Amino acid sequence: MKQYLHSSGPTIVVSLQDIAYAVVSTCIDGSAQGELQDDVIILKLLLPHNEEHRKNELEDAVNTNKEALTEMIVEQQRSNTIQAVASYWEPKRKLLFYAVSLYDKSLAIYSVSIEKLKENTKDSCDENMVEINPEVIHKAAKRCCSLSFASIASEDDNKLPSVVIVAGDLNGDATAYCTEPIRSGKSHSRLLLGHTASMLTSIEVVGDNKSSSKILTSDRDEKVRVSSFPNCFHVEGYLLGHSSYVSDVKIIPNAEYGSTCLTCSGDKTLKLFDYETMQEISTVSIPVNRNENDESSSIPVRLAVSTSGKLVAVMYDSFRCIELFSITIDGNNTSIELVQSIECSTLPLGISFQDEKLNILTQEPKLVRFAKGVDSLYHPINDNISMSLGSKLNSSNVMMPMSILEVDVNTGKIKLEKQENKGKVGFVKNEPWMKRERIEVYKKGLQRRKQRKLEKDKPLS
Tens digit of pLDDT for each residue in 371-380? 999 999 999 9
pLDDT of residue 206 exceeding 60? yes
Strand partners, 282: 272
Q: For 70-74, what is the mean pLDDT?
A: 47
DSSP collapsed to 3 states, 191-215: EEEECCCCCEEEEEEECCCCCCCEE
* Torsion sign across C-alpha atoms 66, 71, 76, 77: positive
The CA distances from residue 112 to 134, 149, 392, in Å, are 10, 15, 20
- The C-alpha atoms of residue 371 and residue 201 are separated, in whole angstroms, by 29
Strand partners, 357: 354
- Contact by Cβ (8 Å): 305, 249: no
- Contact by Cβ (8 Å): 84, 142: no
b/e string for 105-131 if b means 16 or more Cβ within 10 A?
Answer: bbbbbbbbebeebeebbeeeeeeebbe
pLDDT of residue 68 exceeding 70? no
pLDDT tens for each residue of 90-107: 888 889 999 999 999 999
β-pairing, 40-45 vs 129-132, is parallel
- The C-alpha atoms of residue 403 and residue 301 are separated, in whole angstroms, by 10
Task: Name the phi and psi angles at 55, rounded to 5.
Answer: -65, -45
Average pLDDT, the chain: 82
Q: For 180-187, what is the mean pLDDT?
A: 66
pLDDT of residue 223 exceeding 90? yes
- The C-alpha atoms of residue 405 and residue 412 are separated, in whole angstroms, by 11
Alpha-carbon Rg for the chain in angstroms: 24
Which of 68, 79, 89, 71 has its CA nearest to residue 9?
A: 89
pLDDT of residue 290 exceeding 90? no
Q: For 435-442, what is the mean pLDDT?
A: 65
pTM for this entry: 0.82
pLDDT of residue 292 exceeding 60? no
- Contact by Cβ (8 Å): 82, 100: yes
Task: Write down the pLDDT at residue 59.
Answer: 54
DSSP output for 380-405: EE--HHHHHHHHHHHTS-----S-SS
pLDDT interval class at 153 (50, 70, 90): confident
Share of the chain above pLDDT 70, in %: 79
Strand partners, 87: 98
Q: For 173-177, what is the mean pLDDT?
A: 95
- The C-alpha atoms of residue 1 and residue 315 are separated, in whole angstroms, by 13
Task: Name the phi and psi angles at 120, rounded to 5.
Answer: -65, -35
Top-ranked range on mean pLDDT: pick from 61-65, 418-422, 452-456: 452-456
- The C-alpha atoms of residue 49 and residue 338 are separated, in whole angstroms, by 45
Strand partners, 303: 314
Which of 145, 149, 252 has its CA nearest to residue 202?
A: 145
Which of 258, 403, 408 has its CA nearest to residue 327?
A: 258
- The C-alpha atoms of residue 275 and residue 245 are separated, in whole angstroms, by 18
